[in-house]
């Protein structure tokens, strides 16, 4: 037997649909379980720390009690998994190559899980991805009595559908990353070219945008330390962030707090942090199946231009006074009116009046609109001074 061209086209369309809607991977598993005639118990499992859209774990055809027993007692005692490290991406491997049948039938794994479902120890699968931070496997268990007639068809289907699945998982990665970045940028009025990092209360990195990955690899501003923890090269900034992880993540403060620091090369950076509880968001940019569901700290990082030049640009562009422009810049950096007043040693009423005047001159109704307008001007790069001008 073989899968017809029409059947394969339908399966491919389902996989492509899962690229845009990750929730459709269950539909993919269901369809594949019926594709070769007799039911094949299918599973698509894996994780991707780059996007936190994983762990992906969908299965079809298994008895729910068997799945529960596997999750509770056998997920770390899977005889097939012992040979996963020997697999190469793209190889299609029969189940018998992962664990010989004579060895399998002597295990409790077989007695408790496979035998009760009519000896589903045949079949096989393929490794879709195995790289730093990302592993995905697809496969299926078939009854021994169906092996001679259907196993080759199943393995051929695995080989043909795997490239489509890999492509869709790549799209999942791209969309998940873009969803989070767009959400974070709009949620906190951050400018473009902002490096975004999400860490847990122990400073472990759970997400890094493309710009953040670039900075982490360069290691001049921040880097990945032991056990995947975020480490700033500026010790003062690192201490501040470390102190913030506890109180901010525990309170899940929704507003941004701002700090500035300078690297050894003299470049100044603005760093904003905000605590959040991902499990309480009405919509999570990571999707429903995320490893990070509790408190987290969002860190937004971008280089500062020469503040004097930026202030002048804001004055000229929006017709603001020097102090009004300075206030607008502080708002764009995430400071509150009270924090601005404290830093200048003036009354909060003075700062509020400056904000009101700046809003009027810029034609903005809300502070958020003013922040967006100022931040857009800051990120154009037209007024960036050389490093020697930064103090």
pLDDT tens digits, 62-85: 999 988 888 888 777 788 877 777
pLDDT (0 to 100) of residue 175? 60
pLDDT at 147 over 60: yes
Query: Which carries the bigger pLDDT value, residue 140 or residue 50?
Result: 140
pLDDT (0 to 100) of residue 75? 75
Please report whether residue 178 resides in a domain: no
pLDDT category of residue 350 using cuts at 50, 70 and 90: very high
Residue ranges making up the domain that contains 67: 5-173
Using one digit for the tens of pLDDT, what is the confidence trace for 92-115? 999 999 999 999 999 999 999 999
pLDDT (0 to 100) of residue 305? 64
Final residue in a domain of this structure, among 147, 173, 199: 173
Using one digit for the tens of pLDDT, what is the confidence trace for 152-194? 999 999 999 999 999 888 877 766 655 555 555 555 555 556 7
240 and 356, same structural domain? Answer: no
Query: Which carries the bigger pLDDT value, residue 354 or residue 380?
Result: 354
Q: What is d(CA 256, CA 299) in angstroms, rounded to the nearest whole number?
A: 9
Please report whether residue 183 resides in a domain: no
Phi, psi (degrees; rounded to nearest 5) at 299:
-115, 125
Q: What is d(CA 99, CA 78) in angstroms, rounded to the nearest whole number?
A: 10
Structure tokens at 213: 């990955």
pLDDT (0 to 100) of residue 389? 25
pLDDT (0 to 100) of residue 384? 34
User: Sign of dihedral through CA atoms 23, 28, 31, 33?
Assistant: negative
Please report whether residue 180 resides in a domain: no
Residues with Cβ < 8 Å from 351, sequence gap 6 or more?
A: 327, 337, 340, 341, 344
Q: Which residues pair with 260 in a beta bridge?
A: 270
User: Sign of dihedral through CA atoms 195, 382, 365, 339?
Assistant: positive
Q: Which residues pair with 274 in a beta bridge?
A: 298
CATH code of residue 119: 3.30.450.80
137 and 259, same structural domain? Answer: no
290 and 261, same structural domain? Answer: yes
Structure tokens at 382: 């037209």
Q: What is d(CA 246, CA 201) in angstroms, rounded to the nearest whole number?
A: 6
Query: DSSP character for 37?
Result: S
160 and 32, same structural domain? Answer: yes
196 and 125, same structural domain? Answer: no
pLDDT (0 to 100) of residue 203? 85
**pLDDT-wise least confident of 55-59, 216-220, 273-277:** 273-277
11 and 157, same structural domain? Answer: yes
Please report whether residue 10 resides in a domain: yes
CATH code of residue 281: 3.30.450.20
pLDDT at 281 over 50: no
Phi, psi (degrees; rounded to nearest 5) at 43:
-150, 140
Please report whether residue 161 resides in a domain: yes
Please report whether residue 179 resides in a domain: no
Query: Which carries the bigger pLDDT value, residue 148 or residue 372?
Result: 148
361 and 233, same structural domain? Answer: no
Please report whether residue 113 resides in a domain: yes
Final residue in a domain of this structure, among 244, 270, 304: 304
105 and 11, same structural domain? Answer: yes
Final residue in a domain of this structure, among 284, 304, 324: 304
Domain total in the chain = 3
Q: How far is CA 35 from the centre of its chain?
A: 32
Please report whether residue 70 resides in a domain: yes
pLDDT (0 to 100) of residue 34? 93
pTM above 0.75, yes or no: no
């Amino acid at each position: 037997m073989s899968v017809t061209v029409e059947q394969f086209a339908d399966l491919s369309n389902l996989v492509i649909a899962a690229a845009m809607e990750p929730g459709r991977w269950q539909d993919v598993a269901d369809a594949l379980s019926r594709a070769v005639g007799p039911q094949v118990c299918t599973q698509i499992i894996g994780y991707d720390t780059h996007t936190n859209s994983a762990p992906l774990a969908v299965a079809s055809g298994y008895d729910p009690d068997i799945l529960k027993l596997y999750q509770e007692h056998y997920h770390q005692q899977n005889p097939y998994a012992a040979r996963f490290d020997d697999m190469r991406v793209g190889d299609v491997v029969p189940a018998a190559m992962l664990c010989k049948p004579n060895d399998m039938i002597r295990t409790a794994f077989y007695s408790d899980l496979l035998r009760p479902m009519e000896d589903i120890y045949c079949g096989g699968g393929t490794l879709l991805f195995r790289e730093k931070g990302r592993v995905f496997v697809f496969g299926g268990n078939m009854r021994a009595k169906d092996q001679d007639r259907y196993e080759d068809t199943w393995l051929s289907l695995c080989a043909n559908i795997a490239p489509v699945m890999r492509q869709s998982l790549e799209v999942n990665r791209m969309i998940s990353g873009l969803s989070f970045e767009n959400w974070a940028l709009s949620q906190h009025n951050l400018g473009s070219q902002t490096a975004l990092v999400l860490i847990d209360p122990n400073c472990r990195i759970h997400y890094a945008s493309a710009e953040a990955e670039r900075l982490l690899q360069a290691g001049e501003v921040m880097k990945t330390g032991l056990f995947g923890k975020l480490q700033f090269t500026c010790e003062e900034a690192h201490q501040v962030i470390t102190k913030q992880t506890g109180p901010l993540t525990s309170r899940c403060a929704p507003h941004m707090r701002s700090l500035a620091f300078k690297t050894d090369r003299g470049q100044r950076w603005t760093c904003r942090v905000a605590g959040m509880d991902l499990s309480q968001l009405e919509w999570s940019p990571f999707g429903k199946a995320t490893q990070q569901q509790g408190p987290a700290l969002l860190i937004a990082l971008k280089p500062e231009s020469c503040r004097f030049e930026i202030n002048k640009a804001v004055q000229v562009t929006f017709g603001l006074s020097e102090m009004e422009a300075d206030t607008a810049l502080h708002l764009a950096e995430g400071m509150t009116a009270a924090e601005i007043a404290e830093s200048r040693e003036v009354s909060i009423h003075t700062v509020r009046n400056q904000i009101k005047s700046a809003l009027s001159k810029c034609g903005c109704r809300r502070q958020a609109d003013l922040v967006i307008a100022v931040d857009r001007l800051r990120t154009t790069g037209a007024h960036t001074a050389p490093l020697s001008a930064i103090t």
